[in-house]
Chains A and B, each alone.
Chain A
Amino acid sequence: MLLGPALAVSALLFTLGVAGVLLRRNAIVIFMCVELMLNAVNLTFVALAQRVGVAGHVFVFFVMAVAAAEAAVGLAIILAVFRHRETVDLKNIDLLKG
């Protein structure tokens, strides 16, 4: 059934995604780490679909649609910010920082 190994790999991938978001300052790489987290959750859905029914596969669909929308809007925001500040390093993007 492979449920245990799949959940283990999924937990590791999600954790690495969180670590990447905390570790990096490049906005595009942070975005890729968010995609990594979404992929880890997809693996959980697919693994549990074997035990709980095919609805898990349907939810992977919805996650993929959200990921595509998020990538399109997020990358457009990064483009707009880059046009103003000439950088994607979050250290230099601190307009709302107190």
Chain B
Amino acid sequence: MYDKNKILIGLAVFVVFMTYPFWNNIGSAAYQRPELEKPKNAKDCVESVEFMRAEHMAMLNEWRDEVVRGGEHEYHSTANHQVFQKSLSKTCMKCHENKDQFCDKCHATVSVNPYCWDCHVDPKGEKK
């Protein structure tokens, strides 16, 4: 075997780098779901909490296309059979008023940057 030492050193460096995320996080605290500020003036969301937690991004994308391209503004909830207007700012943000204390908390923790608020207005005001 030619260049045995070089290969072994290279392999060792590769393994160290590949496993960096694992050993770097040894001892650090496990992921914790952030505490969200719940709406004070409403009890039920348009769907169950579990559904919203997992699917809200897909649902908002569907609402977007249905409203803008199809002109369908009404959402018929399967959880409580109420009718809601499909709107981020007029429905979601009317209850979840505080983007910093609701949306941003999870998004920041899991490090995602949705671009909803590049255009849609956060009712509690923009950070200047």
A binds B: no
